[in-house]
Amino acid sequence: MLQLKQVINKPNFFKVQQCFPVVIQKRHESNPKLETEKGPKHPVNHCLLMGYAGFKYYGMEYQKTVETVEQKLFNAMLENKWITKSDYYKTRRIRYEHASRTDSGVSAARQCCSLFLPVGVNVQELNSKLPDDIRVFGLKQVVSGFHARYYCRSRTYTYTLPSIAFSHYNDQASQREYRLSSDKLKLVNELLQLYKGLLNFHNFTIKKLYSDKLSRRKMLHLECTPPFLVDDVEFCVIRIQGSSFMMHQIRKMIGFFLAVVRGVIDKSLFDLVFTDRIINCPTAPGLGLVLESLSYEDYNKHYSGIYEALTWEEYDEDVKQFHEKFIQQSIVQTEIRDEITLQWVEQLLNYPYIPVDGDITSNIHKAYI
């Protein structure tokens, strides 16, 4: 049998820890102060809170050929000697993990990453090496087996869009003229509740079958906020909290839902989209999608009084300022200038929701009438 010290030093320690949490944690973490006394030559596990405006990046994950958020983050950490060149090319050495992968063009107000770093590194020095649209807000020591993705219990995303996206497909109002009625807002929120609960979202992602267990995802809370005005254009924010999400899932949820709201397809299609029937769901633009927050509720309860809680309230004002300046402002101004969402929803009428060889009656799709 491997000695406990050998097990702890292995890269997959977090898996062992989940299987034997009490034994390992009591022996290895009974005194977290010991970790802080090792100095910079002995890195310890940290959770890093960051935000980024993802409009010009090809997603969160590192890629060799294109600019990504992680590429910028790793470059800055290397320049500040937080990591070595070996760590840069083999991030498994520092057990780097992010909590939620974001697609190309998608932003994050609060993203968390776990990684082993020297104790006492300076966040401000790191930020000085990062572009303005990427910001590290804080850094906290965490239990050795902490994994940013596996320990996260829920993710909350927001989707900002002009309210004209909810208009009927025959409505001739301009983006500046349209105003959302209270009845329409009520309908929007009622339809969003059809996503709530544990459902099979195989139609809302790619390369997933109905029989795949990973296609089942649990949505915890969905709502659309009352509209607000920016330069005479009305906007709304849709908030979706779920335990986890698959690639393109939220954007396809928004796209399918808007097709129903606009009267392009019938509400009854909601009864089929979670079954084994194949339904094509349109993918909404990534511009308005933002990772808003992450919940580590179970971790915070389990390690209360031992490690700092990963609630990050002390950085709320910094996050708010960054979000308003670099994310929200860019979303609404781009929508006002380029009408990204308006142009996209106008294409919903001709979208092939139903496969050619499908046997669903054509009256479900209003465009076929």
Residue showing tokens 């070996």: 86
Cβ neighbours of 290 (radius 10 Å):
26
Containing 132, the helix (H) or strand (E) segment is none
Which residue intervals of the chain are DSSP H helices? 4-8, 13-19, 21-29, 33-36, 69-79, 85-89, 123-127, 182-192, 249-261, 270-273, 297-302, 316-322, 329-338, 340-345
Residue 174 has φ and ψ, to the nearest 5°, of: -80, 170
Q: Per the residue annotation, which of 87, 103, 266, 357 is the catalytic one?
A: 103
Strands 233-242 and 154-162: antiparallel
In total, the chain counts a number of residues equal to 369
103 flagged as catalytic? yes
Residue 308 has φ and ψ, to the nearest 5°, of: -65, 140
Q: Look at residues 7, 15, 308 and name the one whose alpha carbon lies nearest to residue 151.
A: 15
| DSSP letters spanning 171-233 | ----TTT----HHHHHHHHHHHGGG-EEEE-GGGSSS--TT-GGGEEEEEEEEEPPPEEETTE
Is 157 labelled as part of a ligand binding site? yes
Q: Which residues are catalytic?
A: 103
Could you list the residues known to form a binding site for substrate, using ranges.
157
Could you list the residues known to form a binding site, using ranges.
157
